Amino acid sequence: MQKPLTILGISVGTRTMGIAIWKGNHLAEWQIKAFKGVWSERKLRDILYAIKELIESYKITLVAIKIPNQFHNSESLDKLIIELQSLARRLKVKVKILNLTELKKICSDDPTLTKADLIRTIADQNDILRHLYNREIKNKNPYYTKMFEAIAIVILSYQEYLKKHSVPSPFSEFNL
């Protein structure tokens, strides 16, 4: 028997990460995780430990990672992405990697869709997320963007899973 699908979505970063968890047929958790300080092996271990705890406590079956487009990458970010993939494999969890361009293509056939459009679409489906989005658009320095990207990747990963397994979508709040 196949394990129930529980998705950990990560919008990866070396200072902040957006985290979202899809369990059953609903969004169970969403947050920003901050990792202060300069990049180091210690910081990498702290990040991996935090992700391992989420994978184990939620019994994650798929880790979906939203990575920056190529021109935004750094050596430390590349190493983090490789280590996250390695961690998931060691824990026998499937891994899916997408960049924003691929994420937007899954969401819509509209080539003019922007990251802001994607985030607004997600936020409009839930009162709490709409409140966070309204706060976000007032911020001079975006804070919740990575969280919304993580939410987008878990929702879209779940929708892809449903399509692949010919299961009707139970979405009531999320209609992307």
pLDDT digits (tens, 9 = 90+) for 47-76: 999 999 999 999 999 999 998 876 666 899
pLDDT at 175: 44
Structure tokens at 175: 């209609």
Neighbours of 145 (CB within 10 A): 19
Q: What is this structure's pTM?
A: 0.85
Report residue 105 as tokens: 């293509």
Q: What is the pLDDT of residue 136?
A: 81
pLDDT digits (tens, 9 = 90+) for 113-132: 888 888 888 788 778 888 88
pLDDT of residue 169: 52
